[in-house]
A and B are shown apart, each in its own frame.
Chain A
Amino acid sequence: MAKALKRTNLHDWHIEHGGRMVPFAGWDMPVQYPTGPIEEHRATREAAGLFDIDHMGQMVVRGPDAEAFVNWLVTYDVRQMALFDAHYSLMCYPDGGIVDDVFVYKLPDSDGGEQPYFFIAINADNRKKDVIWAQAQAVGFDVTVADISDETYMLAFQGPKAPEILERLTQVNLRDVPRFTAVSDTIFDDVQVLFGRTGYTGEDGFELYFPAEHALKVWEGILAEGEADGVKAIGLAARDSLRFEPCMPLYGHEIAADISPIEARLSFAVGFGKKFIGRDALLKIKLERSSRVLVGFEMIDRGVPRHGYSIAQNGEEVGFVTTGMFAPTSKRYLGMAYLPRALAKIGTEIDIIVRDKVRKAVVVKRPFYIPAYRR
């Protein structure tokens, strides 16, 4: 018998509001609400969208060696992080393949201790694997690695209006919180929330972490506060198109155990000036140049490129599509793909094999959408 799908604390809300539920990473999650993914995508780009992403996991690392251990575990150099900084990073295998991509927060110990602790957001599909991996690497370090996913709720509130709407609900001035940092505050009287000015949509906004029993109160409260501003609940389909346009990688698509951060063009998250798991392999790949690299492409012929489609040139298979779709903001048929370095130059023509037919495409500049906080 198939294992029962897990449900978030908002599962009933999703069903009551016409959420179309689908299995995703072992969870029963809303792929869309009645107005559809394209409208949800537009609402997030133009106003703000609220995402139930409690399927994602979180682990915390505490102890005297916490910083030394996390610096060994992940690719980014966390020694340069100040308290309340949040940074994108990767956990790699010794061969440079990716265990998972993560967001690392460096936080002050709430027990008043002098050691900072680290809060790490991980992918739903990789939760168990990540925790076991981290715990196995912790041998020899004076740390504890705990999975706090069950008791921690995670929402994302993203879009140009998200900060001002959320600020109406907090004591601190959320709009003054710099990108890639976090702040802790209470919301709706008594809910203690960690607000990270982060997200995976290319828009300004926050990711919220708080005790799971308050899920409905926070969710409905933010939706009510933002109703007049055009805030919508957003499903997984729009979450995917929103992260695709700014070319943010998704585990199982652009990144995987057999793909390195160098090939995935994530060198910005790799600090070679320190020791970490996978460093030697990654340095070799970087110095010797990876044979393949992640590119963006646009269809020339008509067709929708999709995950897993083959790419050919002169009749020979040369690569594969990692994600492809109709991009709602630019209204173009776009994709990301792995290609040999020799074919990665902008303007190179390639053939996408779309449902057994050859369709022409051209390598174009990434990202397809410049994130609001980089403009």
Chain B
Amino acid sequence: MSKIETGLLYTKDDEWIKVDGEEATVGISDHAQDALSDIVYLELPDVGDTFAMGEAFGVVESVKAAADLNMPVSGEVTAVNEDLIDTPELVNSDPYGAAWMVKIKISNPAELDDLMDADAYAKYEEERD
């Protein structure tokens, strides 16, 4: 069973977002890294780039597949986890911790209402499998 961390919000595309006031941290869920298998490559945006809710902000590629990383809510990138460029395998080993991908400044907090909490995401995962 994949791990679901409480206190985060989740998208249907398996990104997570941890909100801290106007700021937030974004990554992908344990289920996502497991489904992708061994991750070998990441493409991340630059600080200052802005994205709309659901827009692709990067790419994650595993041994066998490539997938877009989609922004959970609209915002401007304030920090990028450059460590992941050289050690993409961190996404497999620590998806909720060391493998955070970007930090953003949220531009429309109301969009957070459309995301799932841990319980809702657990149910969503169960129904999907």
Q: Do B37 and A304 have beta carbons less than 8 Å apart?
A: no
B43 within 8 A of A: yes
Interface positions, chain A 60-100, Cβ under 8 Å from B, are none
B41: A residues at CB distance < 8 A:
302-304, 326, 333
Cross-interface CB contact of B37 among A32, A325, A355, cutoff 8 Å: A32
Complex Cα distance, B119 from A127, in Å, reads: 49
Question: Is B59 close to A, CB under 8 A?
Answer: yes
Q: Which of A20, A31, A326 has a CB less than 8 Å from the CB of B40?
A: A326
Among the listed stretches B7-15, B16-24, B61-69, B72-80, which one makes contact with chain A, having 4 or more residues with CB under 8 Å of it? B61-69
- B38 is an interface residue with CB less than 8 A from chain A: yes
Q: Cβ of B63: which chain A residues have Cβ within 8 Å of it?
A: 36-38, 237, 241, 325-326
Instruction: With both chains docked as a complex, state the minimum distance between the C-beta of B37 and any C-beta of chain A, in angstroms.
Output: 6
Indicate which residue in B38, B43, B61 contacts A37 across the interface (CB closer than 8 Å): B38
Minimum CB–CB distance for B3 against chain A, Å: 15
User: Interface size on B (CB < 8 Å)?
Assistant: 13
Residues of chain B from 31 to 72 with CB closer than 8 A to chain A in the complex:
37-38, 40-41, 43, 59, 61, 63-64, 66
B37 in contact with A302 (CB, 8 Å)? no
A36 neighbours in B (Cβ, 8 Å): 37-38, 63, 92
Encode A224-265 as 1/0 by CB contact (under 8 A) with B: 000000000000010001000000000000000000000000
A237–B66 CB distance below 8 A: no
A274 to B89, CA, bound (A): 52
* Complex contacts, B89 vs chain A, CB 8 Å: 38
* Residue of A whose beta carbon sits closest to that of B88: A326
Complex CA–CA separation, A333 to B64 (angstroms): 13
The residue in chain B whose Cβ has the minimal distance to the Cβ of A36 is B38
| Known interface pairs A36-B92, A355-B59; A304-B66 also in contact (CB < 8 Å) | yes
The listed residue (A20, A31, A32, A355) touching B66 by CB distance below 8 A is A355
Q: Which residues of B contact A325 (CB under 8 A)?
A: 40, 63
B80-102 interface code vs A (CB 8 A; 1 in, 0 out)? 00000100010010000000000
Q: Scan A337-355; emit 1 where CB is below 8 A from any B CB, else 0.
A: 0000000000000000001
Contact B64 A237 (CB under 8 A): yes
A contact residues around B38 at 8 Å (CB) = 36-38
CB < 8 Å: which of B61, B85, B92 contacts A304? B61
Interface residues of B in 84-129 (CB under 8 A from A): 85, 89, 92
Report the separation of the CA atoms of residues A303 and B89 in the bound assembly, to the nearest whole angstrom.
Answer: 16
Q: Would A37 and B37 be within 8 Å (CB), given that A31-B64, A304-B66, A355-B66 are in contact?
A: yes
B68 to chain A, nearest CB (A): 9
The answer to whether A304 touches B40 (Cβ under 8 A) is yes
Q: Which residues of A contact B37 (CB under 8 A)?
A: 20, 32, 36-37, 237
Which of B41, B43, B64, B85 is the most central at the interface, judged by chain A CB atoms within 10 Å of its CB? B64
Residue of A nearest to B68 (CB): A355
Contacts of A333 in B (CB 8 A): 41
B43, B64, B92: the one contacting A302 at CB < 8 Å is B43
The residue in B38, B40, B61 that gathers the most chain A C-beta atoms within 10 A of its C-beta is B38
List 22 contacting pairs A-B, 8 Å CB cutoff, sorted by A. A36-B37, A36-B38, A36-B63, A36-B92, A37-B37, A37-B38, A37-B64, A38-B38, A38-B40, A38-B63, A38-B89, A237-B37, A237-B63, A237-B64, A302-B85, A303-B41, A304-B40, A304-B41, A304-B61, A306-B66, A325-B40, A355-B66
Binding site for A on B (CB under 8 A): 37-38, 40-41, 43, 59, 61, 63-64, 66, 85, 89, 92
4 further A-B contacts with Cβ under 8 Å, apart from A36-B37, A304-B61, are A37-B63, A302-B41, A303-B41, A326-B63
